[in-house]
Structure 1
Amino acid sequence: MIKKFLSLEWKQFKRSAAFQQKIAVKIVLGLFALLIIAELIGGGIATYFILEDVFPEDDPFIIVNNYLIYWFLLEMLYRYLLQQLPVVNIKPLMVLPISRKTVINFLIGKSVLSLFNFIPLFFYVPFTIVLLVKGYGYSALAWFAGMLLITCAINFINFLVNKNSTFFGFIAALLAVMITLWYTNIFDATPYIGSGLHALYTTPYLLVVPLLAVILLYVLIFQFLDKNFYLDGVVRKRVKEVEAADLSFLNKFGKLAPFLKNDLKMIWRNKRPKQVLFLSFLFLFYGIIFFSNSVYENQVWIKPFAAVFVTGGFLMTFGQNVPSWDSEYYKLMMSQNIRYKTYLESKWLLMVVFTIISAILSIPYVYFGMDILLVILAGALFNIGLNTYLNLLGGVFNKTVINLNERNKAFSNTQAFNASQFLIAIPKMGLPILFFFVPYLIMDSWMYGVAGLAVSGLLGLMLKNPILSFIEKQYQKEKYKAIAAYSDK
């Protein structure tokens, strides 16, 4: 039966719209994945020797164990945002004479084979090999086994708290508090946590602790899925009361008003857009990492990069998923007498408004100097004048369905990470550095670099109509492919 499930999974993948993406996209993503793998392998090999050179009086192995807690917390966060949990097409299987236990075990087993569980291996394997070469003995293999069990436990935790915003907020807050306390020298929890991880090496039989945790989490997941493995629970509709909001002030935008009202109601009433809005707010604090750290003080190129992120949170969370936010009623929308350009302009205006709000909220960065505030405001202009268009252009190839009413259950998770987001991120991150750095190098002046970044955004604003017209033509070419992809649920 497991073999049959694997066959069905392969057919579902091969026949889906995602499999029909252009070969060039797959090649670029493959190269990007190879680059990440190479960096992790290189990091696994070099970390020990770098720490040995920088901290000659300390054991590099202990240092790594001390700070692995930050990696575990970050892993929980990026799994929450990116990991697509395995979802068997459960409804047809519920009415077939197939053991419930078999289906659930396959579902859990498939989650273990997720790419997110293999990513840490590209660091742990070479690092463990270095430990063996350095004479740490075969007890290093016990530590390696412990890391695998902890990775598996994190995977199961993500399964249980599937898209639970409270859990995400708790982990994000915990990470922020730990970093703040460590950075301000108030309290450093890493040695205490690190000693527990190091104990897996010094006392290998303690492996039973993460092993029992994995078994317990497996049992909890099995019970959770078994409890919800009923057809009526899948098809039953939920009735939810919503509060009406007075958005009549948007009527002054004419033809754009219906789209703007629809987007604001969508953000207010649905869980997934709310999560994205909260995440975009966190981008405002991104600059603190670079502007307050003396390590980046002389690295001029990092300033425009950080500035674009500070005011571009909404662009990089909500904007990159246009038009997938409308995927559930895209066919209905395309059957109406609506110009694509009107639809695109409404999305553009929404991104512009939120970027302006972010720019206003970033004014406290003047604490780090007027030059920092100016580069942030120039980054806001770049986001408005160029990054908004890049998001809309990336939406031409964005054919991933987003379930706005996603519930905190594994069977309802249809959110996937889109390939075009990787590709469109390259110019979004690279162009601001280019537009800042070229005039900065030529004129040897910070203000000329800021001016170059700001002028690039202003030129984009001046060319708004021809750029939107060009993007509109691309959407028209992909219209029926998009409709077909959004129908493939």
Structure 2
Amino acid sequence: MINRFLSFEWKQFSRSSYFKKGIAIKIVMAFAVLYFGGMALLLGVGLYFILKKAMPEIDPMTTVNNYVLYWFLFDFMLRYFMQQLPVMNVKPLMSIPVKRNTIIYYLLGKTTLSFFNILPLIIVVPFSTVLLVQGYPVIQVVAWLISFVAITLSLNFINFLVNKNNLVFYTVLVLVATFGALEHFAIFKISEPAGYAFNYLYNTPYLVILPIVILVGLFYATFKYIKKGFYLDDAISKKVKEVSGSDLSWLNRFGAVAPFLKNDIKLIVRNARPRQVMMMSFMFLFYGLIFYTQETYRDMPAILAFASMFITGGFLMTFGQHVPSWDSEYYKLLMSQNIPYKTYLESKWYLMVAAVLLSFILSTPYIYFGWDIFGMIAAGAVFNIGLNSYLTLFGGALNRVPVELNVKAKAFSNTNGFNPTQLLIGLPKFLLPMLIFYVPYKLISFNAGLIALALVGVLGIVLKPYIFKLIEGVYQKGKYKTIAAFSEKQ
């Protein structure tokens, strides 16, 4: 039966409208995986010797155990945003004699084959091998390795259970930020008790049973969670909710784009996924604190330009990258109306511009770090409006992955929405402003870099009618491919 499931998924992939694009992206991602996998392998082999040289007075194994907690927390956050949860159209299978347990085991098996589970192995297995070569006790090293793998797989199932649970994620985020700050300012070093616990686990091999028991418990909990909603009537039933209306008549002043702006605002307010993206974009306002508080980055203004893009471009880069996927559930109906494509795209542009301006206003406390920093944020805001907004809309024409708006109640849908196309499209938005700023800065002065960054943004605003005409042409050309892709179940 597992072979048949694999056959179904291959046919679904190879017969879909995004097959060719998927092949090209997967080839690029395969090279990326090989590159990062090779770097991870080198790190695993050299980690022992790096730590031995950097801190010769401390056992490298002790150092790893002292800081492994941060690795697991970072791993969890990375999974939350980027791990592709298993996707399978199970409704047709519910009405035929296929055991539910078999399908669920297959879905859970797919999660264990994730790159996020394999990457740690590429690091810790070579590291453990080096430890054995250096004469460390075999039983202790093997028990530690098994514990590490068990905790990694536990994080995999935790992510499955709490995926898109904002309360859990932001609780973890606050804890990480708090403990990180306490550690940085030497108020309370969380690494010490955590390190003691992991070292005790290493020195007491039979305690390996604890991570294994936790892993089995989480696997069973995930299994029960999926099985609980694995019924045909549950899959097709619709929950009735009372919707509260909002007075958005003040948007009528925007003319033809007003109906679309109202629709997007209602979409954000009423649906789980857009609300989550909205909260994520707010967190980008604090991105500068990572860079502006560190003296190291003062001598790397190109990196500061990179950070400045995020402060005012959080909504643009999170919400904007899913245009037009936000409307995928009713895109066919939308495109059947007598609506100019330009009007539809302009509404998205105005929404992103408003978010950039609001973020810029909220970023005024950064004046505390100096007018140079605030000037860079201002130049970044103009650049986001005048160029990054267009790049975002252009990327939307190539991103034909549908977004299901209320993902919390869907155990078998693509609750992540991340795909490699977004990553490739997003690279110019990060690298281009750094290049535009750095060249005048290096040849002339810091202010010259800011002026160049702002001028490119102003030029983009002036040329808006011509740029929009080009973007509209791209959308028109791929209109029916987009409709077909949104109609498919991925």
TM-score scaled by structure 1? 0.95
Ranges in structure 1 where 5+ consecutive residues have no aligned partner: none
- List aligned pairs for 1:188-199, cutoff 5 A: 188-199=189-200
TM-aligned CA distance change 1:116 to 1:484, over 3 Å: same
Across the aligned residues of Structure 1 and Structure 2, the Cα RMSD in angstroms comes to 1.7
Percentage of matched positions with identical amino acids: 52
Q: Partner of 1:61 in structure 2? A: 61
Q: Distance in 1 between matches of 2:312 and 2:53?
A: 38
- List aligned pairs for 1:229-268, cutoff 5 A: 229-268=230-269
Q: Partner of 2:3 in structure 1? A: 3
Preserved CA contact (<8 Å) 2:37 2:122? yes
Deviation at 1:263, TM superposition (A): 0.5
TM-aligned CA distance change 1:23 to 1:106, over 3 Å: closer
Q: Distance in 2 between matches of 1:149 and 1:294?
A: 39
Q: Deviations 1:468-487 (Å, cap 9, x if unpaired)?
A: 11111111111111011000
Deviation at 1:414, TM superposition (A): 4.9
Question: Which amino acid is 1:85 matched to?
Answer: L
Q: Distance in 2 between matches of 1:28 and 1:229?
A: 36
TM-aligned CA distance change 1:114 to 1:18, over 3 Å: farther
Deviation at 1:141, TM superposition (A): 2.7
TM-score scaled by structure 2? 0.95
- List aligned pairs for 1:21-40, cutoff 5 A: 21=21, 24-40=24-40
Question: Which amino acid is 2:123 matched to?
Answer: F
Preserved CA contact (<8 Å) 1:91 1:234? yes
Preserved CA contact (<8 Å) 1:143 1:198? no
Q: Deviations 1:181-237 (Å, cap 9, x if unpaired)?
A: 112222111121122223343222111010000111112122222222211111111
Correspondence 1:360 to 2:361: yes
Q: Partner of 1:271 in structure 2? A: 272
Deviation at 1:415, TM superposition (A): 4.2
Q: Distance in 2 between matches of 1:12 and 1:281?
A: 37
- List aligned pairs for 1:291-370, cutoff 5 A: 291-370=292-371
- List aligned pairs for 1:138-153, cutoff 5 A: 138=138, 139-153=140-154
TM-aligned CA distance change 1:71 to 1:11, over 3 Å: same
Q: Partner of 1:74 in structure 2? A: 74
Correspondence 1:90 to 2:90: yes
Question: Which amino acid is 2:154 matched to?
Answer: A
TM-aligned CA distance change 1:293 to 1:43, over 3 Å: farther
Q: Partner of 2:118 in structure 1? A: 118
Q: Deviations 1:141-192 (Å, cap 9, x if unpaired)?
A: 3222211111110011112223211111211111111112112222111121
Deviation at 1:292, TM superposition (A): 0.6
Ranges in structure 2 where 5+ consecutive residues have no aligned partner: none
Q: Distance in 1 between matches of 2:351 and 2:278?
A: 12
Preserved CA contact (<8 Å) 2:321 2:422? yes
Q: Partner of 2:52 in structure 1? A: 52
Q: Distance in 2 between matches of 1:25 and 1:113?
A: 19
- List aligned pairs for 1:410-449, cutoff 5 A: 410-443=411-444, 445-449=445-449
Equivalent position SS for 1:44 = helix
Q: Distance in 1 between matches of 2:297 and 2:305?
A: 12
Equivalent position SS for 1:423 = helix
Q: Deviations 1:247-306 (Å, cap 9, x if unpaired)?
A: 111111111101111111100110000000000111111111111112323222211011
Preserved CA contact (<8 Å) 1:374 1:450? yes
TM-aligned CA distance change 1:216 to 1:183, over 3 Å: same
Preserved CA contact (<8 Å) 1:85 1:410? no
TM-aligned CA distance change 1:272 to 1:200, over 3 Å: same
Q: Deviations 1:20-48 (Å, cap 9, x if unpaired)?
A: 31654443333333332233233333433
Q: Distance in 2 between matches of 1:85 and 1:361?
A: 35
Question: Which amino acid is 1:387 matched to?
Answer: N
Deviation at 1:395, TM superposition (A): 0.7
Q: Distance in 1 between matches of 2:30 and 2:455?
A: 35
Preserved CA contact (<8 Å) 1:319 1:391? yes
Q: Distance in 2 between matches of 1:147 and 1:157?
A: 15
Preserved CA contact (<8 Å) 2:164 2:415? no
TM-aligned CA distance change 1:135 to 1:458, over 3 Å: farther
Q: Deviations 1:406-450 (Å, cap 9, x if unpaired)?
A: 22442244543223211112111111111110001111x211111
Preserved CA contact (<8 Å) 2:321 2:393? yes
Preserved CA contact (<8 Å) 2:272 2:407? yes
Q: Distance in 2 between matches of 1:409 and 1:487?
A: 18
Question: Which amino acid is 1:365 matched to?
Answer: Y
Correspondence 1:166 to 2:164: no
Preserved CA contact (<8 Å) 1:384 1:461? yes
Equivalent position SS for 1:209 = helix
Correspondence 1:154 to 2:155: yes
Equivalent position SS for 1:17 = coil
Q: Partner of 1:228 in structure 2? A: 229
Preserved CA contact (<8 Å) 1:379 1:453? yes
Q: Deviations 1:298-322 (Å, cap 9, x if unpaired)?
A: 2222110111111111111101111
Equivalent position SS for 2:321 = helix
Q: How many aligned positions are there?
A: 488
Preserved CA contact (<8 Å) 1:403 1:415? no
Deviation at 1:457, TM superposition (A): 1.1
